[in-house]
Structure 1
Amino acid sequence: MSSTPVPTVPISGGAAMPMIGFGTWQLSGEDAYRAVSTALEAGYRHIDTAVGYVNHRQVGRALADSGIPRHEVFVTTKLLPNSAGRERQALERAVDQLGVAYVDLWLLRHPPRQDPLPAVWQAMAELADEGTARAVGVSNHTTALIDTLIWETGRTPAVNQVAFSPARFDPQLLVEHAERRVAVQGYSPLRHTDLSHPALTAPAARLGATPAQVVLAWHLARRVTTLPSSTRPDHIRDNLTAAQLTLSAAELHTIDTLDQHTAALSATPGP
């Protein structure tokens, strides 16, 4: 097990969210079980999954087989928007498949056509009050959508999970979320990022690290929780040790301003 200290960010509900988590999007079957088992053994204490990933049972089996006390692992899952009116059943099914009594974070995935879903959000918040979810948040929501949910229900999401990488750096997004006290959680941290760019290879060489580790360290410096994913044990372990790296202010600024031609980014939907 890794002794790498991973910073945490406090979120509503009293939970401390580890800022490097293990993402399970596109992991299924025994690949998901093996990858999550490797991540837990390496020292990850934050696992991200969702109903739509169809891997709850494999993630739950890895958690059980790890022998790690439940309270030591931060578990996130997500509600599909088409579960409107069936929020309780969806949450009960999720925790049953995961083999846990509660999840630490329950996210409302992006609404269809980007229409706000205040009734669904209200139901999720009320269920969280019962204790089956320690905190509730959203995924792929704009700040305008978040504002609508807050206005309609009086409940602020603890977290917004969005695509975040050097190619998608948006300082205004970070400002707007900080103003609302909504933590930013970023998925696909390496997607569309040119790992051969000098802005990444130079600090990697200075630190004796990989460019991928530099990208993850940049996320932490920007106070964005990151969710790298891999099936390769060496990559899984290396990603976690990014928490040991410290980038200079100049290096951070250079990564902030990387020209990754974001207009050409793929429109493929994410987690």
Structure 2
Amino acid sequence: MSANLKNSTKTLKLNDGSQIPIVGLGTWQATDERDAYNAVRAALDAGYRHIDTAAIYKNEVQVGEAIRDSGVPREEIFVTTKLWNAQHHEPEVALDESLQRLGLDYVDLYLMHWPVSLDKSYMKESPLELMKRPDGTRPVETDWTFINTWELMQKLPKNKVRSIGVSNFSVNNLKDLLKAPTTNVVPTINQVELHPLLPQYELVDYCQQNKIEVEAYSPLGSTSAPLLSEPIVIDVAKKNGVQPAHVVLSWIVQRNIIVLPKSVHAERVAANLKTFTLPEEDFDAIGKISQQRGERRINNPNFEPFKTFV
């Protein structure tokens, strides 16, 4: 029996009243000059209305060009970009630079990419570098925390950014942020790695209890977390007459989690917008994969002495 696959048009209401489409296009690693442009054009042509980028992805120029060339009115597209670690002391300057690269007057969502500030003096040609000391460690600032950064982000002009949020925050990070005396805005979003091999149950529960929506990047895993060849995923896909990617993305959406699949191939981009409702037994089976296989995290950079996911 084939499932009833449909283009997802579902939106979630953020804690500031904004609406965000539950399926968006991720553009991480789309750094080839035309890959990001072609992926965004394909996404908007297929019906996506949510595009996610970041300063460090170095593709904001191409993303902005694709948005303008698509013919889709700007107000119909939810655009996210992110503050890079070396610019935590000056988020408005960083935002202005992103807007200039995007060619946009505003973004819908601006995220603190990591809860870590890097010493800008170690940057090479620009702040947009994965800067390292000669010994290979990253120059983490220990006297400037994400609480200081959030205090500044709260002051960003509303005509430049509609909503603000965070990314790669653990439960403990969020607890520290929410109890800080300078925090008067609850993040709208926490964007994290999330997939059946890293379901993030505790983090999702905490976020949803505190009206913070969770957004999933790397939802289909990677070569180190090959979800699309996972036997349980394949069995559920065959049973429902869909592709393995549909199973994984639909499982995330069914948890009321925003999902950001990425591809630079037009057919896959279009296919990733389609979701269906998994039967309860299949939903539960996907949710237990991490118990059977063990949890696997794909993206785990070393920001010592900061403990990123503790």
- TM-score, length basis structure 1: 0.91
- Give the structure 1 partner of residue 215 of structure 2: 185
Is contact 2:41-2:67 (8 Å) kept? yes
Counterpart residue identity of residue 199, structure 2: F
Runs of 4+ in 1 over 3 A off after TM superposition: 113-116, 259-270
How do residues 79-228 of structure 1 correspond to structure 2 at under 5 angstroms? 79-112=83-116, 116-128=145-157, 130-152=158-180, 153-191=183-221, 192-228=225-261
Cα distance in 2 between the residues matched to 1:6 and 1:167:
26
Q: 1:61 aligns with which of 53, 65, 89?
A: 65
1:174 Cα shift? 1.5
**In structure 2, what is the Cα distance between the partners aligned to 1:45 and 1:195?**
25
Larger CA Rg, structure 1 vs 2: 2
Find the aligned partners of 1:96 and 1:14 in 2 and give their Cα distance. Answer: 26
Q: Is 1:261 aligned with 2:306?
A: no
Runs of 5+ unmatched residues, structure 1 = none
Q: How far 1:178 sits from its partner (Å)? A: 1.1
Call closer, same or farther: CA 1:184–1:114 in 2, change over 3 Å.
farther
Change (3 A) 1:265 1:186: closer
> Shift of residue 95 of structure 1?
1.2
Equivalent position amino acid for 1:177 in 2:
C
Check 1:54–1:168 CA distance in 2 against 1; reply closer, same or farther (3 A cut).
same
> Is the 8 Å Cα contact of residues 165 and 193 (structure 1) preserved in structure 2?
no
More helix by share: 1
Q: What is the CA-CA distance between 1:199 and the residue it aligns to?
A: 2.4
- Which whole-Å CA distance do the structure 2 matches of 1:127 and 1:266 have between them? 32
Identity of aligned residues (%): 36
What RMSD over aligned residues (CA atoms) do the two structures have, in Å? 2.0
Q: Deviations over 1:175-205 (max 9, x none)?
A: 1111111000000001114323342223322
CA distance in 1, matches of 2:14, 2:164: 10
> What are the Cα deviations for residues 46-80 of structure 1, in whole angstroms up to 9, with x where unaligned?
00000000111000000000011111000000001
5+ residue gaps in structure 2?
1-5, 117-139, 303-310
- Alignment correspondent of 1:234: 267
CA distance in structure 2 between the partners assigned to 1:266 and 1:7 by the alignment: 28
Q: Deviations over 1:96-120 (max 9, x none)?
A: 2111111111000112369741121
SS at match of 1:71: helix
Calculate the TM-score normalised by the size of structure 2.
Answer: 0.80
